Amino acid sequence: MAETRSVYLAWSGGKDSSITLRLLKEDGIEVRGLLTTLSGPERRISMHGVPESLLDEQADALGLPILKVALPDNASDETYRKFMTEATARIQSEGVDTIAFGDIFLEDLREWREQQLAGAGMQALFPLWKMHTGDLAIRFLEEGFQAVVTSLDASKLPTEMLGRFYDEDFLHDLPDGVDPCGENGEFHTFVFAGPVFERMVAFRSGEVRQATAPFVYLDVFPKHER
C-alpha cells in the first residue's frame, strides 16, 4: 500500500474521532476534511444524537471543512450505499483515496468498511486499531480532551449518566463489562475541547429524549441557539 499522506476522516463528533484526528496530525497525515452521516428529518449525527448546528460549530472550531451525508429515517442498505457512493466520488474528485476511521476492535465493522471503500476504489485507515481501550481512554483525558456523554444504551447504563463529563469519575462508575471507550455501542460522546481544537465549543444541554429503544440521547445545542 502506498504511503498515505492525505485523508478524509469519518467524524462522529465523539472521543474516538477526536483522538484519531490527533494521531493523524502527529503522523504528518493531512486531514482534508470530515465526513459525517446525519439521520432523519432533524439531521442529527447518527447514534450520537448531536444536531447539525452543533456539528457545524465543532467543525468550525477544528478549522476543517465537513462533508455531510444526510440519510432518511430507516435508510435501507441500498439507500446508504447510494448516498455514500456520491460522497466518496466527491472525495476522490479532490484527489483523496483514503478515509480514516476511529474503530478500535470490531472486526466485522472494519471488514465492512474496507469492502465498501474497495468497491469505490478507495482504502480505509484505522489509526486506533487494536489499541487497549482502557489506555486509550486515559490518554484521551491526559491529552486535555473534554467530552460530554450525549447518548447511551439504557439496557447497559443508567439514564442518569447522560450529560456527565467523560472523565475519570465517569470511567470509575461504569458497570462491569462496559467498555471504557463504549466500543460496543454502550455510550457516545460529544467532544467540545482539546488539542485539535482552535477554541472551545460552547454548548448547552436540553431534555433527555428517547431514540430507538433501548437508546436515549441528551439534546445538546450551541450555547447561543434558542
What are the pLDDT digits (tens) for 132-170?
A: 999 999 999 999 999 999 999 999 999 999 999 999 999
pLDDT grade, residue 74 (50/70/90)? confident
Average pLDDT over the chain, rounded to an integer: 93
113-138 mean pLDDT: 94
Q: What is the DSSP-derived secondary structure letter of residue 146?
A: E
On the question of pLDDT at 1 being above 50, the answer is: no
For position 225, what pLDDT does the model report?
A: 72
CA-to-CA distance for 174 and 164, rounded, in angstroms?
12
Q: What is the pTM of this model?
A: 0.93
Q: Are 159 and 216 in contact (CB under 8 A)?
A: yes
For position 77, what pLDDT does the model report?
A: 81
What are the pLDDT digits (tens) for 29-55?
A: 999 999 999 988 788 888 778 999 999
Fold matches, 6-125 and 133-219: no
Q: Is the domain covering 133-219 a CATH 3.90.1490 domain?
A: yes
Return the residue matching grid coordinates 476492535.
105
For position 184, what pLDDT does the model report?
A: 93
On the question of pLDDT at 25 being above 60, the answer is: yes
Q: Are 16 and 184 in contact (CB under 8 A)?
A: no
pLDDT grade, residue 3 (50/70/90)? low
On the question of pLDDT at 76 being above 70, the answer is: yes
Tell me, which fold does domain 6-125 have in CATH? Answer: Rossmann fold (3.40.50)
CA-to-CA distance for 17 and 140, rounded, in angstroms?
11
Which is more confident, 186 or 80?
186
For position 73, what pLDDT does the model report?
A: 79
In degrees, rounded to 5, the angle at the alpha carbon of residue 53 between the alpha carbons of residues 49 and 57 is: 110
On the question of pLDDT at 65 being above 60, the answer is: yes
On the question of pLDDT at 205 being above 90, the answer is: yes
**N residues, the chain:** 226
Percentage, residues of the chain above pLDDT 70:
98
172's CB contacts (< 8 A; 6+ apart) are: none
What are the pLDDT digits (tens) for 167-176?
A: 999 999 999 9
CA dihedral 87, 89, 93, 99 (to 10 degrees): 60
Boundaries of every domain in the chain? 6-125, 133-219
Between the ranges 48-52, 175-179, 206-210, where is the mean pLDDT highest? Answer: 175-179
